[in-house]
Copies of this chain bind each other. A is one copy, B any other.
Amino acid sequence: MTIGFELIKSDAKSHARRGRLATPHGVVETPAFMPVGTAATVKAVKPDDLTNIRTQILLANTYHLFLRPGHEIVREAGGLHTFMHWDGPILTDSGGFQVFSLGHINQISEEGVSFRSHIDGSPLLLTPEKSMEIQEALGADIIMAFDECTDYPADHAYTREALLRTGRWLERCAAAHKATDRQGLFGIMQGGMYPDLRKESAQIITQMDLPGYAIGGLSVGEPKEVMYEILDGCTDLLPENKPRYLMGVGSPDAILEGVARGIDMFDCVLPTREARHGSVMTSSGPINIKNAQYTRDFSPLDAECDCYTCRNFSRAYLRHLCKAGEILSAMLLSIHNIRFLLKLTEEIRAAIEAGDFGDYRREFFAKYYKTIVE
């Protein structure tokens, strides 16, 4: 199989698992966090800097690359790996989520979704077949099925309609997927906030033997407790011997809670988006570097961090850059924030291996969120 998954260790007291995902461009140790390179670039971070902070795998967005520069150009460039100079594993989403969140939708039909580009207003159509064509041109190691992600809140009837359509679209994706020798197709579970619909969606997508399964339609506006409750019932519905990917989730608490519930893969724009606004994750909790209290703080962002930013610059300097609107601020804070989540997953992996995941999770919450969890 193009994509392999090996389960190395399961936690005794939670659903946390330590695994290893094999892709054509290398191995990904799981649980893993995937930085997001929307338009074939992780915003404000060079590929060599991503390697230096031990990034394992990147995510890129089909919708954005379809619109600009166009998948044919990426194909001619030799695929996304060559185009963006990233030789490690890449996952592309299907464009589904972005069509629904960014595009101006004209019509959702059985065929697909017709919409207008958020860049130039041009009319476009995405279908399961088109998504496969684009993702094949992009050439990522892992590609995602074209799905309909329902809003929050959405009623039961519509949510069911959407998950059933997502199931039919998955069959069309699998039929249209040609580059099976170099790309693995993951299916996406929908079903919104309805446990019965999550179950129905899981039954549909797991009827097909795919190399991995994702949980979509969470972190779409619902309270976190609702997300965790739904997640509680979700992971058991998916095969144990396949990787499980929780789409669009990447806050430290959601990563820990996701891992505890059996999730192996995460992605989120949070570390880079927050960095551009001066918001920083540190081992003793989140801070905003623009705060006046850092004016004369010559200590590193996070004394426990090993990233380029923390090894070489002070909070006072980073605050200055941020206040002055300097690009270097976004660069240095993005490096740190991504490294923070990568380090979190490294520590989670070590804790699962050592049988200490429960303690690690409790200690992290106490230190980062100043919160005691059960």
Contact = CB atoms under 8 A, between A and B. Distances in A.
Given A296-B76, A298-B76, A316-B69, A44 B328 contact: yes
Tallying the copies of this chain within the complex gives 2
A323 B73 CA distance: 14
A85 B312 contact: yes
A321 B65 CA distance: 11
B39 A320 contact: yes
B46 A324 contact: no
A40 interface: yes
Contacts of A43: 326-328
B41 A73 contact: no
Contact of A298 (B48, B77, B295): B77
B73 A316 contact: yes
Interface string A317-341: 1011101101110111000000000
Given A46-B308, A76-B296, A317 B40 contact: yes
Given A83-B314, A316-B69, A41 B76 contact: no
A158 interface: no
A313 B76 CA distance: 14
A47 interface: yes
Contacts of A84: 317
A332 B46 contact: yes
B316 A85 contact: no
A327 B314 CA distance: 23
A224 interface: no
A367 interface: no
A295 B332 contact: no
A155 B16 CA distance: 78
A328 B43 CA distance: 7
A253 to B, nearest CB: 28
Contacts of A40: 317, 320-321
7 interchain residue pairs of minimum CB distance:
A44-B327, A69-B320, A41-B328, A85-B312, A39-B324, A41-B326, A83-B317
Interface of A: 39-41, 43-48, 68-69, 73, 76-78, 83-85, 295-296, 298, 308, 312-314, 316-317, 319-321, 323-324, 326-328, 330-332
26 contacts: A39-B320, A39-B326, A40-B321, A43-B328, A44-B327, A44-B328, A44-B331, A46-B308, A46-B328, A46-B331, A47-B312, A48-B308, A68-B320, A68-B324, A69-B319, A73-B295, A73-B320, A76-B296, A77-B298, A78-B298, A83-B316, A84-B317, A85-B313, A85-B317, A327-B327, A327-B330
Given A41-B326, A85-B313, A85-B317, 16 more contacts: A41-B328, A44-B327, A44-B328, A44-B331, A46-B328, A46-B331, A46-B332, A68-B320, A68-B323, A69-B319, A77-B314, A77-B316, A77-B317, A83-B317, A85-B312, A331-B331
